[in-house]
Amino acid sequence: DAGVIQSPRHEVTEMGQEVTLRCKPISGHDYLFWYRQTMMRGLELLIYFNNNVPIDDSGMPEDRFSAKMPNASFSTLKIQPSEPRDSAVYFCASSSESSGANVLTFGAGSRLTVL
């Protein structure tokens, strides 16, 4: 298996622009997670899905952030409009119920820089 695939790996954008990060989970995994990593706040869970349904989005910072999972093989995290404080590495991870759902396999991350 190719693992969790994230794109783009790097994104540089200007304040106010829309940013879309993409994730393809491991085939057969039924949980998908979006985490954000910053120096100041460490690793934070933003939102997670089970069988394509959002279960907990309490970590989403504000209405500028939205996430979707239209099918089992694709998810997006969108920031509109972006701000410099959104600069971070965004990780997608997936897991399967059969492994207890909390053994996460992470993608390589998308490094976002908002100027």
The reply to whether 26 sits near another protein by the rule CB under 8 A is no
Cβ closer to another protein: 65 or 91? 91
Other Cβ atoms less than 10 A from the Cβ of 44: the count is: 14
Cβ closer to another protein: 27 or 99? 99
Is the separation of the CB atoms in 95 and 31 below 8 Å? yes
Is the separation of the CB atoms in 74 and 5 below 8 Å? no
The reply to whether 5 sits near another protein by the rule CB under 8 A is no
The reply to whether 45 sits near another protein by the rule CB under 8 A is yes
**Residue in 46, 60, 88, 104 binding another protein, rule: CB under 8 A:** 104
Distance CA 111, CA 38 (A): 10
The reply to whether 102 sits near another protein by the rule CB under 8 A is yes
Distance CA 55, CA 12 (A): 30
85's tokens: 């404080």
Q: Which residues of the chain form contacts with another protein (CB under 8 A)?
A: 31, 33, 42-43, 45, 48, 50, 55-56, 89, 91, 93, 95, 100-109
